[in-house]
Amino acid sequence: MAVRRDSTQETLGLHDVTPHALRHTCYTRHILGCVDVKLVMEWMGHSDLATTMRYAQIREMLWRRCCRFLCMVLTSRFGAQRYCHQVS
């Protein structure tokens, strides 16, 4: 059975957007906004916390990137790494 593309999806040029992608984006934004992981787990219908924690790893990754960027800016601006601690 062929799947018919929604005309709105075509009009907006959202060819690769799927319900799963929208769900993933929604819950990733909740985790990034520091909504309680157990609450997000309940909303997503996950029975295992480890499944929901994949979204929490995104928050930690972004935090580390921000810290590295800030360290780079401080180092270039003030010429010393004393403002930064090691962020892996």
Place of tokens 């780079």: 72
The pLDDT, as a whole number, for residue 42 is 92
- The pLDDT profile of the chain, 88 residues, written as one tens digit per residue, is 445 556 666 777 777 778 888 888 888 888 878 788 889 889 989 999 888 888 777 777 887 888 888 888 877 877 666 656 655 5
Q: Where are the alpha helices (DSSP H) in 6-48?
A: 7-12, 19-32, 37-44
pTM over 0.75: no
Q: What are phi and psi of 5, to 5 degrees?
A: -75, 140
Bin 46: left if φ > 0, else alpha if -120 < ψ < 50, else beta.
beta
Q: Where are the domains of the chain?
A: 7-83
- Measured distance CA(64)–CA(56) in Å, rounded: 13
- Measured distance CA(23)–CA(46) in Å, rounded: 13
The pLDDT, as a whole number, for residue 47 is 93
